[in-house]
Structure 1
Amino acid sequence: MPLVRPLWAALLDLAAERDCGGCGRPQPSGEPLCPACDGLLAEGGPWRTLAAVPGTPRTHAVARYEDPVRTMLIGYKERGRTDLRRALGRALARAVAQTLDTLPDTALDAVFDTAGAAGCASVALVPMPSRRKAVRDRGQDTTARLARTAARALREVGLPVRAVPALRHARAVEDQAGLSREQRQTNLAGALRARRAAAVATSSVVLVDDISTSGASLAEASRALREAGVPVLGAATIAAARVRS
């Protein structure tokens, strides 16, 4: 009669070696990313993104939306690779920092006082809201969790940053994948509303998302918050389809 291995032994085997969440190479170390793929998030970019849709806030990303970063994001969002969240969240934090660093002096005055980072006014990272179906299918709001991870990373270096889900869907929208720029604008026009606007009214708001393509989602989010009396300083994403060198 064959022996049945204990569950803990099987789990140890899984932890001992896994595939890199980017390039797919085996990782004997058990780390979620190989050094090369991790370096793309930790050392690449950040770049200013190129938006095709008017009204898109100034946005920075740390990587182009192409493999292996595309594979990382798909693995995290669609294939249960929650072990990638820390690396992706820290990459998002780098993009947020770049967005804050490149603000005009007049905008920076609203974020920093003469005491510097120690006297920094509160910064609110507002994640793009996920569709309810996506949250049900994935079992979590992946973008909101990335925002919280990024906020935590920025707090570690002394910036008073928090993640606030201050947007909601006002109506159903289609999945954006495969839609043209014009279709994306139509799909999202008037689709978002501010929620908990009072929670971010005195903060410096940076929109965050995993990917920027045409900029339609970020433009709509900026509009919704602006109409609620909440200005948006800029936006940050992990990857972007189009970037300025």
Structure 2
Amino acid sequence: MGESFGLMTEEPRQGGLGPTSTGEWSSTGPYEHPAAGWGAAMTVGKVLLEQRQPVAGTKAMFTMNQPKSGFDCPGCAWPDDKGVTLDICENGIKHVTWEMTHKRVGKEFFAAHSVTELSQWNDFDLEDAGRLVGPMAYDAATDHYVPISWNDAFRTIARHITALDSPDQAAFYTSGRLSNEASFLYQLFARELGTNNLPDCSNMCHEGSGRGLTASLATGKGTADLEDWEACDALFVLG
């Protein structure tokens, strides 16, 4: 089934059933050094420079996961640690700097790359291309995304919504990384329409595990923290 959509059908896969990729697993070659320490610090510095965020990115490192005037890392659900000045990891910094990137993809990018071509890109390259600058629509005749005005985008959305027999036939899906303010306005729109069908990637992916963990352990997040690492006699890392 996946093969007809240009998906990988044989192991190993890069990140699951994703776009076909003929390249190596790592774009930088094998890494044979410790996963933490100075190697991780140098990688963080490289990422900050690549995303052109050496100042703002460094400031974000000291506010991420801090209980006062801070914000939760968008990378994972690691519990908040108390009294830790830098409560971060290498991947967390990558997530934050990708959110802060100045890279943009506009009409020139989509004119140069068809949807068929983009479906062959790996996830990293798609993310690294940059952020959208406006609404886009798929043109089946050319196999390209083309820019449309906000008015046309809203008219298209309205046409599909008003054609429904019931508001509950619509699913207002959002990213778990959407801001609280945008999420608030979005849910107001859905409820004004007459439905509370508001799934997002967080509850669709983690609601089952969160409910199970809450029922058994009284918390829906991970239970390990840095204090456990300091007190344990042995640490096993699998995978």
- TM-score interval, normalised by the smaller of the two chains: under 0.3
Structure ranking higher in strand proportion: 1
Radius of gyration: which is bigger? 2
Structure of higher RCO (CA pairs closer than 8 Å, 6+ residues apart) = 1
TM-score normalized by the length of structure 2: 0.26
